[in-house]
Structure 1
Amino acid sequence: MNLNQTITLSPEVISQEVSGETVLLDLQSENYFGLDEVGTRIWQLIQESGQLQTVYDTLLQEYDVTPAQLQQDLEKLLQAIQAAGLVSLEAASNETAAND
């Protein structure tokens, strides 16, 4: 997993938090996707920053988890929601440097 990626939410997805969990609805496919409390926190962080590194760093501070376990769990969730068409991952655009 490349932490230097940007996560973009699909414009076809709406989300609703219910009792600490989140239900996602893909309007295009009409499929529902449920997130538990940790998944909900990840979704919130994606909405706030869209930067995978920021999401990872915040979760590492908030949860008692090893970096390797967090990376594995985060990658698993991102693969699932990307496969469902709920998000897309793109290489960060900060690769270019200005040379004046």
Structure 2
Amino acid sequence: MNLNQTITLSPDVISQEVSGETVLLDLESENYFGLDEVGTRIWQLIKETNDLETIFNTLLAEYDVSEERLLGDLDALLGEIAGLGLVKLEQRA
């Protein structure tokens, strides 16, 4: 995963936190998606900043996890939600 990227939320997605988890609704496809507690934290950070390196460093400080594990987990989640069109990843200029 390249941390020199920005991440942008799709304007077609609305989210709602419910009991520590997040439900996402893609208005274009009318599909619902669920995020667990960690996925919810990542979603919150994406809403606060579009800088992937900042998101990574914040998560690294908040969770007891190795850099390699966090990179892999973050890459998996972002790859999945980007593939669904919920976010867009772009190289930072």
Give your verdict on TM over 0.5. yes
Residue 10 (structure 1) shift: 0.3
Please identify runs of 4+ aligned residues in structure 1 that moved more than 6 A: none
1:32-47 pair list within 5 angstroms = 32-47=32-47
Unpaired stretches in structure 1, ≥5 consecutive residues: 94-100
TM-score by length of 1: 0.92
C-alpha distance in 2 between matches for 1:54 and 1:33 = 25
Secondary structure, aligned partner of 1:15: strand
Number of equivalences: 93
Question: How high is the TM-score relative to the length of structure 2?
Answer: 0.98
Cα shift at 1:5: 0.4
Structure-2 residue corresponding to 1:10: 10
* 2:92 aligned partner: 92
Distance in 1 between residues matched to 2:61 and 2:83, nearest whole Å: 27
Unaligned runs of 5+ in 2: none
Counterparts of 2:61 and 2:48, CA distance in 1: 16
Q: SS where residue 50 of structure 1 aligns?
A: coil
Mapped partners of 1:92, 1:33: distance in 2: 27
Q: Report what 1:98 is aligned to.
A: none
Percent identity between matched residues is 70
The one-letter code sitting in structure 2 at the alignment partner of 1:37 is E
Residue of structure 2 equivalent to 1:67: 67
RMSD: 0.5
